[in-house]
Amino acid sequence: MIETPETDKAFKKQIKTSLEKDFLRKTLNNFFTSYRQSRGNVFADLDLEGMREDVACMKDAGIPNLSELFDEFKKNAEAAGSIVHVARDAEEANCIIAQIAKENQVKSIVKSKSMTAEETFLNDHLEKDGYEVVETDLGEWIIQMRHEGPSHMVMPAIHLSRYQVGDLFSDVTAKKQDPENIEGLVKVARKELRPKFIGADMGISGCNFAIADSGVIGLVTNEGNARLTTTLPRVHVALMGFDKLVQDYSSAVKILKILPRNATGQALTSYVTWIKGTNECATAPEEKKIQHMVFIDNGRLELAKDPIFSQALRCIRCGACANVCPIYRMVGGHTFGHVYIGAIGLILTPFFHGKEKAREIVKCCLNCQSCKAVCPSKIDLPFLIKNVYAKIQDEDGGKPFKTRMTSMLLKNRRLFHTALKTASKMQGPATDGPYIRHLPTFLMGEHNFRRLPAIADRSLRDDWKYVKPKVKNPKIKVALFGGCAGDFIYPEHGKAFAKLCEAYNISVDYPMDQTCCGLPTMMMAQMDTAKEIALQNVKAFKSGDYDYIVTLCASCGSHIKENFPKLLTKKGAVPADVQAMADKLIDFSSFMNDVVKVKAEDFMNLGRKVTYHYPCHLIRGLGVEEAPMALLEKAGVDFKACDESQVCCGFSGSFSVDFPMISKTMLDHKLDNVSATGATTLVTDCPGCTLQLKGGIKARGMNVTVKHMAEVLLEEKK
Amino acid sequence: MSQGEIIESMRARAEKAAAVVSSAATLEEAIAYAVNLTAEEGGTTLAAPGMDDAAREALGKACGEKGITLLDSPLRDKMTRIHTAFTWADRGIADTGTLVLNSNSEELRLATMLSETHVAVLPTDKVVPSMDELEGYMTDHFKNGAGYVAFITGPSRTADIERILTIGVHGPERLHILLAENLDGGEK
Ligand code: SF4
Ligand code: SF4
């Protein structure tokens, strides 16, 4: 049975248990690395972006018309002898299928893999009615016998070791099976399940696409069990969500070209099976298969009308959003999801299985954008996750005290900034240089994995009048977006930027009405506050006639560029001033490299050993990959490449406070990799990452200095 | 792409998907290949749905010489005994190394799903560059009511235990493709 924690305490306990499972950690670590490689290889010579765009557009065209597509499908399928049903919810789908079994005097049922059947808990229902139901996909069969839910959409038994499978199969066959012989274990399934296929009266399959203009369904599989399931028994039932409907063959091909590649790194699965109507079947009456198609709604048709969430119906269930998720990598699918797991699971769970099952897991997202970057249907998963979180909080009424406080404080810039200043004075005796020496008690315990920075004595805004570059006839006019951490914790980043600008004859303004970008409020799902703060910032930057708005914080940058327009859309349109701010926004590295076009001869060659950490919001949020590498090359450093340089450091603002155990494990990975490079300077482009990395390095006592790119360039500047 | 390049891609991709690719110039050669392979593997039966009478006769003779039983319809009685399935392929898809089999016939489905080894003869002029070019074929196929089409790429496989790729779960453990120029001999 699937048990999903419904309280904070239970969830944290489960996280802790998962983190302690050595096999799980090792296997998911390997998977995390090898998936990226095989995906990279299989798309190497293809137009991946074009293919993703094709799927997203095709799906978007279909989603508003699911009912029409269904009518067309039904007409065509029924003309070929199929019987087409609609189930409003899970219970109804299960009853329809049980009824089909009853009418046809079915005793035993074989099933091929179907996530939709997992969604409805179909097996439980049929077993309760007295039917023998056997899963025939190897992974599904294993977890069925272990009474577990899938821990991955494509590889349901990924959490199990060969030894666990070996033990299970020894029991099943009443004969000792050698766990080291995986081929032998696979043959056990072949041998044990053959008689089940041959003896079954009914086969239940899922469906990867239902083609409206022909009434054909398509099944994408590797093992060959779906072919047997749809061929041997006299009755075939296909269960599918309304979202599986597509217009025509060419739409299906768009999915087919990307699904196996993105799921398992295969150009195509071993089998793609296309079925229409009542095919030959010697054991059925009139030698024609009894064929039923069951379409389940379960909230999908409502979802299709939702301006934000309808995107979720683009999902083609490739599982990739789990494969690249650093949280999934740490804790696995039984902790990071309910029935549907990974990023899409966080989104679908409240709609399909109720908010109780989603309340805790939905908090556990870093907003690292990894899922979004690989989704073949281009679903904006992190944004939808935050919206689900907001929806649940709204429905629950009262928001947590901490959330309300933060929200209130952040909405009022003066109050917020005064609070920060007061904090900087109050912390006096507790700080040890730039680190907080004694954590306030509420931050003790699990947070000791890194040293937290102190708030600077003087913020960037306090000193701006001295810092502001003195230039006449500037060649470029920019405004600086500081961000909270850049303003109050690491003002030295902004100061370095100002000095560089002075050297390159660039004027810089620091509009004093700017405030927190609002990303932290969105992370806490305070969408209203996030909107309000976004507006304050748009106003603060509106009057200046700037060529660019530069930020040294990749997180603020990607939030402004991507989320401001989404948050502030009015009646389907983005207001001009909002769009202007988003358009002018540029990150530091891109600005220096692509706009200022700094040259190698501008820099001394100090020859220090440097490695780089890509902030999530730079590489995936803003899509910047080359600029930092180009700058480091121009600066003439001795660059040491770092493994997993594009993987999240585990900071993600309040996430690291809410889920310290996950944050710590991620930071450990990161610092192990940094350590292995032998570099003495670790460069990045985000004060949030700086905070996490510096804190971890200090706690570990590593001999590595963390610097913002702006500081490095300034130090290297001739 | 020339047809030669298409065939080369078909061969390379199919091999990458763990299929064995050979050529057969005549039907006799294809039959000899399937029969010899069966014997080498220690198999004693062969099912060949979808072959025309002439092909069946030649098959029967070749099987007889090697002590192999050519299974008759209906295969439902012999589901646990099919060693080799010998069939035509309807189309080939070059960029994925895929075979396309018209699987309307239940006999053909049983043979290709339950056998240990599947040997398929693929006429080279039926190989198309990608799935896109099959639109017309698929439309025609499903135009008149019920139908069943199989795209087959390599043998049956799984990675469900520790993600270790293992060949031969529920479908054939081996797939052999015989590229055949100018060959005909059954329904396609
Ligand atoms: S944004 Fe990152 S942490 Fe959140 S679901 Fe996506 S991959 Fe996982
Ligand atoms: S949301 Fe995207 S990445 Fe995740 S399973 Fe669906 S299609 Fe794949």
| Ligand 1 centroid from CA A644, angstroms | 16
Query: Measured between beta carbons, which residues in chain B are less than 8 angstroms from residue A281?
Result: 106
| Beta-carbon count within 10 A of A558 CB | 28
Question: Residue A200: pLDDT above 90?
Answer: yes
Among partner residues A139, A161, A231, which is closest to B160 by beta-carbon distance?
A139
B128-136 mean pLDDT? 97
Q: Which CATH number fits domain A601-716: 3.10.20.600, 3.30.2080.10, 1.10.357.10, 3.40.50.1860?
A: 3.40.50.1860
| Ligand 2 centroid from CA A364, angstroms | 18
A284-302 mean pLDDT? 96
Predicted pLDDT at A241: 98
Predicted pLDDT at B188: 42
Asked if B113 lies within 8 A of A224 by C-beta distance, the reply is yes
Token digits for A686? 């985000």
ipTM above 0.90, yes or no: yes
- The yes/no answer on whether domain B3-180 falls in CATH 3.40.50.10420 is yes
A464-489 mean pLDDT? 93
Confirm or reject: Cβ of A344 under 6 Å from ligand 2. Answer: yes
pLDDT in tens, B20-58: 999 999 999 999 999 999 999 999 999 999 899 999 999
Confirm or reject: Cβ of A313 under 6 Å from ligand 2. Answer: no
Asked if B135 lies within 8 A of A193 by C-beta distance, the reply is no
| Ligand 1 centroid from CA B60, angstroms | 60
Confirm or reject: Cβ of A377 under 6 Å from ligand 2. Answer: yes
Nearest residue to A612 via CA among A638, A591, A593:
A638
Question: Residue A444: pLDDT above 80?
Answer: no
Cα distance from N-terminal residue to C-terminal residue, chain A:
65
In this structure, the residue with its CA closest to atom 2 of ligand 1 is: A368
Confirm or reject: Cβ of A55 under 6 Å from ligand 2. Answer: no
Asked if B146 lies within 8 A of A80 by C-beta distance, the reply is yes
CB proximity under 8 Å: A 675-704 to B: none
- Predicted confidence band of residue A423 (pLDDT cuts 50, 70, 90): low
Confirm or reject: Cβ of A379 under 6 Å from ligand 2. Answer: yes
A342-369 mean pLDDT? 91
Query: Measured between beta carbons, which residues in chain A are less than 8 angstroms from residue B101?
Result: none
Predicted pLDDT at A398: 63
Contacts A–B by Cβ distance under 8 A: 175
Among partner residues A81, A142, A223, which is closest to B170 by beta-carbon distance?
A223
Q: Which of B95, B131, B158 to mutate to test the interface with A (most CBs of A within 10 A)?
A: B158
CB-CB contact of B4 with B129 (8 Å)? no
Among partner residues A30, A162, A268, which is closest to B161 by beta-carbon distance?
A162
pLDDT in tens, A36-46: 999 999 999 99
| Ligand 2 centroid from CA A640, angstroms | 34
User: Which residues is B176 bridged to in the sheet?
Assistant: B20, B119
Confirm or reject: Cβ of A325 under 6 Å from ligand 1. Answer: yes
| Long-range CB contact pairs, A258-262, < 8 A, 24+ | A258/A51, A258/A52, A258/A55, A258/A316, A258/A318, A258/A376, A259/A208, A259/A220, A259/A316, A259/A318, A259/A376, A260/A220, A261/A39, A261/A42, A261/A43, A261/A46, A262/A39, A262/A318, A262/A320, A262/A374, A262/A376
| Ligand 1 centroid from CA B94, angstroms | 37
A653-661 mean pLDDT? 81
Alpha carbons within 13 A on the beta-carbon side of A335: 27
| Rounded Cα–Cα distance for residues A84 and A242 (Å) | 12
